[in-house]
Amino acid sequence: MKINGKLVEARPAPGQCLRTFIRDQGEDSVKKGCDAGDCGACSVLIDGEPHHSCLIPAFRVSDAEITTVSGLGTPDNMHPLQQRFVDAAGFQCGFCTAGMVVTVSALDRAQLDDLPQSLKGNLCRCTGYRSICDAIDGVVGTEKVSAGDPGRSVGRSIPAPAAKRIVTGTEPYTMDRLPTDLGHIAVVGSPHPHARILSIDTTAAEQMPGVRAVLTHRDDPGVRFSTARHENRLDDPDDTHVFDTTVRFVGQRVAAVVADSMTVARRAGELITVEYEVLQANFDPALATEPGTPLVHGDKGRGARIADPQSNLVAGFEGTTGDVDAGLEQARAAGGTVVSGRWQTARVQHTHLETHGAVGWRDENGRLVIRSSTQVPFLIRDELCHIFGLPADDLRVHTARVGGGFGGKQELLTEDLVLLAMLKTGRPAVYEFTRTDQFTIAPCRHPMRIDVTAAAGADGVLTALSVSVLSDAGAYGNHSTGVLFHSCGESVALYRCANKHVDARAVYTNNIPSGAFRGYGLGQVSFGIEGAIDELAAQLGIDPFEMRRINVTVPGDPLVTWQVEEDDLEYGSYGLDQCLDLAQGALESGRTDPTRNGEVLASQPDWQIGEGMAATMIATIPPRGHHADARMTLTAEGDFIAAVGTAEFGNGTTTVLTQIAASALGCAPSQIVLQQADTDVVGHDTGAFGSAGTVVAGKALNSACVELRRRIIEVAAARLGADQADCRLGPQGVQAGAAFIDLPGVAAAAGGTLECSGNHDGSPRSVAYNVHAFRVAVSTATGQVRILQSLQAADAGVVMNPQQCRGQIEGGAAQAIGTALYEEMILEDGHVMTQVLRNYHIPQLADVPRTDVYFADTYDSVGPLGAKSMSEAPYNPVAPALESAIRNAIGVRIHQLPMNPPRVWRALTT
């Protein structure tokens, strides 16, 4: 066949699909998102027609012309459509982009006019699709900065530095440009939710030609750890082994085969026989701490940092400020009301399009190297060295561009097996999750039960707020402690109330483990608290926006959960008042917008129209330490190299950090070369999670740049014989009156290069705000919910890159709409039944409304150059805002996610 115009002569393996065949020919622009024909990341043109290459047997198209996205254009000579994706920032992580561009390139006019239908085979988890539609429509981002407009890049919508490579499929991801002689890893998982391994027979597998090693608990290094990664490794319980002798959820690793090919590895895995003693299991978190319930980690002592392994309690806490009972009485006495309810959130998957994976090899000096799809390369390096007893210098961990994370890649899931395989075989190794692995063995979002009692007087003033949370940790405690604390943090502290009570527990079950997910618990508990506040407002006849104005904390108020929040949390800026005004104004103006189509539905007897909103607050940095080192270098050639540890996974840090550096040094963004996410590049970086990429790494880089600028001026002034106060640093060099020295000259005068460092420890922390509002139509006949208007107002401080930040908010809202209305992992006795994207529906273009985005105008005194984070935050208010709008439409509150048609219909009819 011809691939991108080049004749290829090769014999496909029996049954080989076109996707892997193309990649075997060295063409990496074809990505794997599902290998089941659902996501479209592997789309190519076959004789000009778009197809999912994972569904096509390679031999069937042996005489075809195949075009991948890199066949459409190159970074230096882009197809017009690729240019439009650059201009409109039509991607975030970019993992879907190759397939998206290739598909759109083949659409005719009629198909372009019906994008929801034409793109139903191409999924994007990051963008919310608006920027993709903008790209297709040729909408150019506003507020562009050009190379001739240097030094003014903060606050402007500059394109991502990797934009041209992403749209042409030439930006490498984790599984691209793999080393040779790879050992492919296939894992044998437990069929039981709880069992003891009595014996494993690996003889037949080991004898199979092509098998390099078979790994079992006999190869376990004997060190317990947590897959969750934090700055302080003691934050999570040590309850996990690389290979354990007890399995606690279906699919847990029992053995792994390392072989010359994945086909051999899988076949050999089928030859392994395991004898189990099946143990009783518990799948119900409500029963987990009851006497007699099977213990998931009963074999462990307190040294594992489990709150109480003898009652399945991972973590728990309780506290009261004031007197809640007195507060309830106070409300009744003041002619007010009391609301009590139980809310339940669902188990959902991150569904980043790039699955988990890692590849390892030894470099030319024999040092171990791992490239991983991770948000936390430094923490992965440190924990691997802890588990395997290696000095930190013996292992380098780095990332390529990561294809989405949403918190899911703050876990150590594949790297340990890759390292063990390398150590056992002495050869390179690769381990990549399938999409089904992603659903069945990767941690998901914690399902939570939230009981809320709230009371307010007739004037709407809150007098009592009591919150009780039960979180299903699943079989391992990774992130459960942190998520539990965070879930009851800013969600409770948002409200000024003298009488508060919080109690919360995270418990072990034999379900799939839960883990970090965008919002880190806030979205779950906000679903309950915002619902209760909304119900109070409804019962008191107070507008929900007004209810917030009456009760939210403002600068000067202490931030109180059941105690005053940690001292390093402060109001670096405050834009919630603006957000409430912006959202309310936009919602009201939408009532008369004919494009919303609400009037048509409103005229039909079985559709009811409703409006609703919710507000959320989030700390801009995680607590308990978040550290970033940065280094800024002026090279002999006059280039600037910015070195940071934080990773790029669609969070936009590459762009924002480039803007920060360019602004500080008065140069064009194109003059900044960013090196990142590599343990060899800087001393340490906690990682890109908790929205820390901009505010922690950004501050570290800014301080390095400020120091470099000072040094450049100092050197130039000495060289020119000028006063430092008269020196001006520009894109090309330093001007002092009529005298000028260019940047290479400054570097030469400094001895060849100039290098400055900066770091930031993640304290103090500020708070950011989001208000989401919806107008919906709800069918009383079917329970169907249609979103007529969606908008979000955000307080992001100084918005570093409006186009990119807007995309983050649109994407967060789209992801949250999916998890609010229809996404749900279904488990039966611990077995995940939703194993492919076809039966775990994430939003397609057709499902997602346009979310209008508004920004408050604030300057944060804590963040870099006035900025606050806006990565997780947009997700959190969406589900409670939908809950509020549905309640407003039909008079019935839905207390359970997802609020799908059967659930809404049942609520209406019972």
Q: Which is nearer to ligand FES, 130 or 486 (CB)?
A: 130
Angle at which helices 878-890 and 522-540 cross, to 10°: 30
Per-position x/- string for 387-406, each x denoting binding to ligand FES as judged by CB under 6 A, each - no binding = -----------------x--
Task: Tell me if 787 sits within 8 A of 849, measured CB to CB.
Answer: yes
Q: Is position 691 an interface residue for ligand FES (rule: CB under 6 A)?
A: no
Q: Which is nearer to ligand FES, 91 or 249 (CB)?
A: 91
- Name the segment binding ligand FES (CB under 6 A); options: 16-24, 85-93, 436-444, 768-776: 85-93
- Name the segment binding ligand FES (CB under 6 A); options: 119-127, 560-568, 679-687, 885-893: 119-127
Q: Rounded to an integer, what distance in angstroms lies between the CA atom of residue 165 and that of residue 85?
A: 11
Q: Which is nearer to ligand FES, 795 or 810 (CB)?
A: 810
3-state secondary structure of 633: strand
Nearest alpha-carbon partner for 772 in 583, 575, 490, 544: 583
Task: Tell me if 107 sits within 8 A of 133, measured CB to CB.
Answer: no
Per-position x/- string for 634-653, each x denoting binding to ligand FES as judged by CB under 6 A, each - no binding = ----------------x---
Task: Tell me if 795 sits within 8 A of 581, measured CB to CB.
Answer: no
Alpha helix ranges (H) inside 768-841: 802-821
| Contact residues for 326 (Cβ-Cβ < 8 A; gap 6+) | 464, 499
Kindly tell me which residue out of 19, 23, 125, 627 binds ligand FES, with binding defined by CB under 6 A: 125
Q: Rounded to an integer, what distance in angstroms lies between the CA atom of residue 480 and that of residue 473?
A: 6
Q: Which is nearer to ligand FES, 127 or 216 (CB)?
A: 127
Q: Is position 845 an interface residue for ligand FES (rule: CB under 6 A)?
A: no
Q: Rounded to an integer, what distance in angstroms lies between the CA atom of residue 873 and that of residue 864?
A: 18
Q: Cis link prior to 764 (omega < 30° from 0)?
A: yes
Q: Is position 349 an interface residue for ligand FES (rule: CB under 6 A)?
A: no
Min. distance of Cβ 857 from ligand FES in angstroms? Answer: 28
Q: Which residues pair with 905 in a beta bridge?
A: none
Min. distance of Cβ 813 from ligand FES in angstroms? Answer: 15
Min. distance of Cβ 403 from ligand FES in angstroms? Answer: 6
Rg (CA), the chain: 27
Min. distance of Cβ 96 from ligand FES in angstroms? Answer: 3
Q: Which is nearer to ligand FES, 125 or 887 (CB)?
A: 125
Q: Is position 124 an interface residue for ligand FES (rule: CB under 6 A)?
A: yes
Kindly tell me which residue out of 1, 96, 135, 644 binds ligand FES, with binding defined by CB under 6 A: 96
Nearest alpha-carbon partner for 792 in 130, 141, 87: 130
Min. distance of Cβ 853 from ligand FES in angstroms? Answer: 17
Q: Is position 101 an interface residue for ligand FES (rule: CB under 6 A)?
A: no
Q: Is position 102 an interface residue for ligand FES (rule: CB under 6 A)?
A: no
Kindly tell me which residue out of 53, 67, 103, 127 binds ligand FES, with binding defined by CB under 6 A: 127
Q: Which is nearer to ligand FES, 807 or 830 (CB)?
A: 807
Q: Which is nearer to ligand FES, 70 or 900 (CB)?
A: 70
Min. distance of Cβ 162 from ligand FES in angstroms? Answer: 12
Kindly tell me which residue out of 94, 150, 407, 531 binds ligand FES, with binding defined by CB under 6 A: 94
The pair of structure tokens assigned to 102 is 């290739």
Q: Is position 357 an interface residue for ligand FES (rule: CB under 6 A)?
A: no
Q: Which is nearer to ligand FES, 128 or 783 (CB)?
A: 128
Q: Is position 417 an interface residue for ligand FES (rule: CB under 6 A)?
A: no
- Name the segment binding ligand FES (CB under 6 A); options: 120-128, 575-583, 606-614, 863-871: 120-128
- Name the segment binding ligand FES (CB under 6 A); options: 46-54, 125-133, 315-323, 630-638: 125-133
- Name the segment binding ligand FES (CB under 6 A); options: 118-126, 338-346, 499-507, 759-767: 118-126
3-state secondary structure of 348: coil
Nearest alpha-carbon partner for 144 in 135, 132, 133, 152: 152
Q: Which is nearer to ligand FES, 767 or 845 (CB)?
A: 845
Min. distance of Cβ 875 from ligand FES in angstroms? Answer: 15
Min. distance of Cβ 354 from ligand FES in angstroms? Answer: 8
Q: Is position 807 an interface residue for ligand FES (rule: CB under 6 A)?
A: no
Q: Is position 88 an interface residue for ligand FES (rule: CB under 6 A)?
A: no
Q: What is the DSSP string of 842-898?
A: PPPGGG---EEEEE-----SSSGGGB---SSGGGTTHHHHHHHHHHHHHS----BSS
> How buried is 836 (Cβ within 10 angstroms: 0-12 exposed, 13-18 middle, 19+ buried)?
middle
Min. distance of Cβ 40 from ligand FES in angstroms? Answer: 10
Instruction: Decide the pairing of beta strands 514-515 and 444-445.
Output: parallel
Task: Tell me if 904 sits within 8 A of 894, measured CB to CB.
Answer: yes
Q: Is position 189 an interface residue for ligand FES (rule: CB under 6 A)?
A: no
Q: Which is nearer to ligand FES, 107 or 287 (CB)?
A: 107
Q: Rounded to an integer, what distance in angstroms lies between the CA atom of residue 791 and that of residue 713?
A: 46
Kindly tell me which residue out of 126, 359, 464, 716 binds ligand FES, with binding defined by CB under 6 A: 126
> How buried is 618 (Cβ within 10 angstroms: 0-12 exposed, 13-18 middle, 19+ buried)?
buried
Kindly tell me which residue out of 92, 510, 526, 900 binds ligand FES, with binding defined by CB under 6 A: 92
Q: Is position 353 an interface residue for ligand FES (rule: CB under 6 A)?
A: yes
Q: Which is nearer to ligand FES, 126 or 258 (CB)?
A: 126
Min. distance of Cβ 404 from ligand FES in angstroms? Answer: 5
| Contact residues for 555 (Cβ-Cβ < 8 A; gap 6+) | 571, 574
Q: Which is nearer to ligand FES, 402 or 788 (CB)?
A: 402
3-state secondary structure of 696: helix
Q: Is position 95 an interface residue for ligand FES (rule: CB under 6 A)?
A: yes
Nearest alpha-carbon partner for 689 in 362, 414, 409, 358: 409
Q: How many residues bind ligand FES (CB under 6 A)?
A: 13
Kindly tell me which residue out of 91, 225, 562, 774 binds ligand FES, with binding defined by CB under 6 A: 91
Q: Rounded to an integer, what distance in angstroms lies between the CA atom of residue 689 and that of residue 516?
A: 9
Q: Which is nearer to ligand FES, 565 or 810 (CB)?
A: 810
Min. distance of Cβ 123 from ligand FES in angstroms? Answer: 7
Nearest alpha-carbon partner for 422 in 497, 369, 365, 350: 369
Q: Rounded to an integer, what distance in angstroms lies between the CA atom of residue 124 and that of residue 118?
A: 14
Cα dist from 464 to 385, 456, 500, 510, 522, whole Å? 49, 7, 6, 36, 20
Enumerate binding residues for ligand FES (CB under 6 A): 91-96, 124-127, 353, 404, 650
